[in-house]
Chain A
Amino acid sequence: MADLDYKVIVGLEIHVHLATKTKIFCGCELAYGDTANTHVCPVCLGMPGSLPVMNKTALEYSILTGLALNCEIAKFTKWDRKSYYYPDLPKNYQISQYDLPFSEHGYIEIPLESGETKKIRILRAHLEEDAGKNTHTLGNFSAIDLNRAGTPLLEIVTEPDMNSAEEVGALARELQRIVRYLGVSEGDMQKGHMRFEPNINLHITKNGEVFKTPISEVKNLNSFRAVERSVAYEVRRQLAAFEETGVTMQMGNKATYGWDDDKQMTVLQREKEEAHDYRYFPDPDLVPVDIDDAWLGEIKGRLCELPIQMQVRFAKEYGLSDYDAGVLTADRATAEFFDGTVKLGADAKRVCNLLTQTGLKLANEKGVSVDQLRISMENLAKLAKMADGGDVSASAATTIFEEMAENGGDPAQIAEAKNLVQKSDAGEIEALVDAVLAENAKAVEDAKNNPKKGKKAMGFLMGQVMQKSKGQANPKIVSQLLNQKLNV
């Protein structure tokens, strides 16, 4: 294949399950993996005579997400029926939003490999109901479970602003982080809380002319890996197809693909975009919604600092590496716990190390978030300051952290009780140093005058002092005193 100059163009459609207690239009509780058709009622079964009533929390979660995605929130919004026949769609229409979605024209900032961020424009976000599930476990028959039918679903559509599989993956992950920060979705990929549909094509420059390949839409991807790999696969496939046939985009040659995870390839589902005729019209069973300033202001009050903003701030203000900043901002609880602790005057790097090296591991083992360990931000800050001030060693700090995580308590008291306090009293340490120097003339000699053995001798003397102090002398001070007395 000759090297072609090309640009990857990807837009993404994302469906996010909102973490409400009940479905969007009825009081059935959301449930994953429960017995089929036990979280259903006349409304979500689409029974004759049943009527939908909008879940306020679902709408507020949607608006909150729209705000976090920097969208304009409509003052007036309404619900429309989208008609198509499918056995997991009990009414054979989906209640969705057509021409007046509650939010439009935003952007999401995603982290790039380089440490920079990139803005991807959001075309719109709207609220709709999810369908049930067809399973194919009965040979020639399908089994239908409607437990999922009516789950509130936020559909987010981006502009085609992504230019690589990595960027698509970064957006997917960033969105997961955002919805989790906001608490509007658990964003659990395994449970299908987030589903992705990339639209992919290439702009190929050949002999000074730009050719656009036909757009592929890959349906229903539910892991980050599948999103990235399907995009990467489509890039290769479209390049090869262009090389072979020169096929370019025309009206109506957008094709729909599925992702075969076993074969790691996309599989053609429909050659041409079917002549869908969804017959949208305003749902007469629901009334429109006015979103006034007071309500919007109240929802705005629930916004938090976004993960990407925190990540950038941690790196910039606290001097953390991109990696550490990324780890600390993976979830909101950790990020806020870290940030709060640092704001109490603790050293950022020290707190970062305690949290990333010990805290996250412990929290993970216990299945809680770091702020749910038995350590307050105040006590963590105190511990960090103790370690920085030389009151305890780094390893002692870890021990104290573990003890606090398990049983709570004040770090100074724990250090005391466990004999982990370092002696920093220069006078007391000086006496020990003098004693050691007096007892080890040979080593003193080597340290002073033998360039070959000096370093080793110094280490030996250091060890002797530490031993005499039962490990409680502050090694920094010991080292200072030794250097001073031996003039090295």
Chain B
Amino acid sequence: METLKELRDDIAAGKTTSVAAVEAFFARIDQFEPTVGAYLSLCKERALEQAATVDAKIATGEAVGELAGVPVAVKDNMCTTFDATTCGSKILENFHAPYNAHVIEKLNAADAVIIGKCNMDEFAMGSSTENSGLKQTTNPWDASCVPGGSSGGSVAAVAAGLCAASLGSDTGGSIRQPASFCGVVGLKPTYGRISRYGLVAYGSSLDQIGPLTHNVTDAALMLNIIAGHDERDSTSVPEDVAPLKDYLAELEIPFEELKIATVPQLNEGADALVQKAVSEALAVYKSLGAEIVEIEMPHFDYAISAYYVIATAEASSNLARYDGVHYGHRTADPKDYIDVYSKSRDEAFGAEVKRRIMLGTYALSSGYYDAYYLKALKVRNLIRSDFTKAFEQADCLMLPVSPTTAFKIGEKTDDPLQMYLADVYTIAVNLAGVPGISIPAGFDENNLPIGLQIISEAFSEDKLLRIARMHEKETNWHTQKPNL
């Protein structure tokens, strides 16, 4: 299976064509998509047209973008002027955005060919993609298991070879956790690194778009395309505050005198095989000369609590607009205008979305604001200071991504709290706004992938990718592919 960069180079060199690449992926999609269920929409015709245009440009020697002709996919919470933008929700099932998200413009400018939009937990709320209101996605390694979530479709599409790379979004682990479950690389950049313009909001102060790829090199390539300031997003950080890098430039240069922080106490919460995978990864780094520093993260344990207040509070407000007035689902026969709101929302939102709207509304409501929302913001500050202190002692922090490997479909759907608790390793990263990456680091007894999470300080994606690449060069976990 070719990587993004290999395919890009082959197309550029004329070894293959974009049309051939698109057709090859659609052949695989025809074969495997019925089982995997990664896509909510596919746009073969449009993709082939674009591919032909790129091929013609290459043939005539015209200048092309950095991802010219490469078939990629995006999570269906990124607005596109082609196809619907559903967010995996019945409420937006027929919503056609009149504009493209910033990242879509970036992919278009790079001459990438978007072949489809991927399934997800409804409004990115979930850790298994089971909360999609529109489709079930399965884990390419074991169709009885979940792919993780909420970017389950984006991850499954890459893992199953149904696109060269994809974009997901990560609010509390939604890129990293499914990447870990499906054995691909998933990068959540620093909050503010990539414009959220056109990304349908879940938790606005936490959401961040990032790449899902076969390897670290592809993640760096993808980040090169999508990173950068956008004046349409007030939270997109200007380049004078956080300069952009060419993330490929120094990727192959190992990080010298690398100091890695670990939190043994935290690791104990994970399954034995997950702990083992993390230890083995640390051993790899040690063998490369890295120093391991054991630290404490005293407030890490409170991240889930803080997150489920802050994210749901923001979500309760962000999702207020889905009311059946200006777009989206409207109840069939409203008796008055209040019905349009209450019935439309009740009919079209799934249980998890309702639950989070309820929780967030509660946390912001009169009499509870200080006890929940304000308290959570204060704890968020404490959590961030844990990270600040960690990065004073080490170059990066290594943790599991998830306490378990992929679980069975339906296994956790009855107990939302248990599902939330599984986000323990990823959530704090979003609260602190720092970048994190999940890279393949082993398999469990059922041949399900295990991921290693590496975290570094804000806007240090160049360093994070270099560190990740060091491990990748020494191991072959990332080259293992599921037997579909």
Give the interface of A toward B (CB within 8 A): 42, 45-54, 81, 83, 85, 87, 90-93, 142, 144, 146, 277, 279-281, 284-287
Contacts and interface: CB of A to CB of B under 8 A. Distances in A.
Interface stretch (B196-204, B285-293, B401-409): B196-204
Nearest to B87: A48
Interface of B: 77-79, 85, 87, 92, 95, 97-99, 101, 196-201, 203-205, 231-235, 313-314, 316-317, 320-321, 323, 325-327, 337, 341, 361, 364-366, 369, 373
Contacts of B323: 85, 92
- By CB atoms of chain A within 10 A, which of B87, B231, B327 has the most? B327
A53 B365 CA distance: 27
A66 to B, nearest CB: 22
A91 B369 CA distance: 21
Given A281-B364, A287-B235, A90 B199 contact: no
Contacts of A91: 320-321
Nearest to B79: A49
A90 B234 contact: no
Contact of B79 (A48, A93, A144, A287): A48
A279 B317 contact: yes
A12 B299 CA distance: 47
Given A50-B99, A279-B361, A285-B204, 9 more contacts: A47-B326, A49-B79, A49-B200, A87-B325, A90-B325, A144-B326, A279-B364, A281-B317, A286-B234
Contacts of A92: 320-321, 323
B232 A284 contact: no
Nearest to B338: A85
A280 B373 CA distance: 11
A49 B235 CA distance: 13
Contacts of B317: 81, 83, 93, 279, 281
Given A46-B321, A48-B87, A279-B317, A53 B232 contact: yes
A51 B361 contact: no
A47 B85 CA distance: 11
B97 A42 contact: yes
A87 B320 CA distance: 12
Contacts of B101: 49
Contacts of A54: 234
A47 B365 contact: no
A279 B321 contact: no
Contacts of A146: 326
21 contacts: A42-B98, A48-B79, A49-B77, A49-B197, A49-B201, A51-B232, A51-B235, A54-B234, A83-B320, A85-B320, A85-B341, A90-B321, A92-B321, A93-B317, A144-B325, A279-B364, A281-B313, A284-B203, A284-B205, A284-B314, A287-B235
Contact of B234 (A52, A87, A144, A280): A52
A93 B196 CA distance: 20
B95 A48 contact: yes
Query: Binding site of A, secondary structure by majority: helix, strand, loop or mixed?
Result: loop
A54 to B, nearest CB: 7
A277 B366 contact: yes
Contacts of B97: 42, 47-49
Nearest to B322: A48
A446 B403 CA distance: 124
A148 to B, nearest CB: 15
B79 A87 contact: no
A216 B327 CA distance: 37
A192 B53 CA distance: 52
A87 B337 contact: yes
A42 B98 CA distance: 7
A182 B326 CA distance: 37
A284 to B, nearest CB: 4
A137 to B, nearest CB: 15
Contact of A49 (B199, B325, B326): B199
A92 to B, nearest CB: 4
A51 B234 contact: yes
B424 to A, nearest CB: 23
B373 A281 contact: yes
B320 A49 contact: no
Contacts of A48: 79, 85, 87, 92, 95, 97, 200-201, 321
A400 to B, nearest CB: 55
- By CB atoms of chain B within 10 A, which of A42, A51, A87, A146 has the most? A51
Nearest to A43: B232
A49 B321 contact: no
- By CB atoms of chain A within 10 A, which of B197, B203, B314, B320 has the most? B320
A79 to B, nearest CB: 10
Top 5 closest A-B pairs, CB basis? A92-B320, A284-B204, A284-B205, A279-B364, A48-B200
B259 to A, nearest CB: 33
Given A83-B317, A93-B320, A51 B197 contact: yes
- By CB atoms of chain A within 10 A, which of B78, B85, B199, B234 has the most? B234
B333 to A, nearest CB: 13
B234 A47 contact: no
Given A53-B234, A81-B317, A285-B234, A47 B197 contact: no
Nearest to A281: B364
A275 to B, nearest CB: 8
A324 to B, nearest CB: 50
A432 B310 CA distance: 97
Contacts of A144: 325-326
- By CB atoms of chain B within 10 A, which of A83, A142, A144 has the most? A83
A81 B316 CA distance: 11
Contact of A45 (B79, B326, B366): B326
A285 B87 CA distance: 19
B85 A49 contact: yes
A86 to B, nearest CB: 9
Contacts of B321: 46, 48, 90-92
Contacts of A280: 364
Contacts of B98: 42, 47
Contacts of A81: 317
B234 A287 contact: yes
A45 B366 CA distance: 28
Contacts of A45: 326
B361 A49 contact: no
Nearest to B366: A277
Contacts of A47: 79, 97-99, 326-327
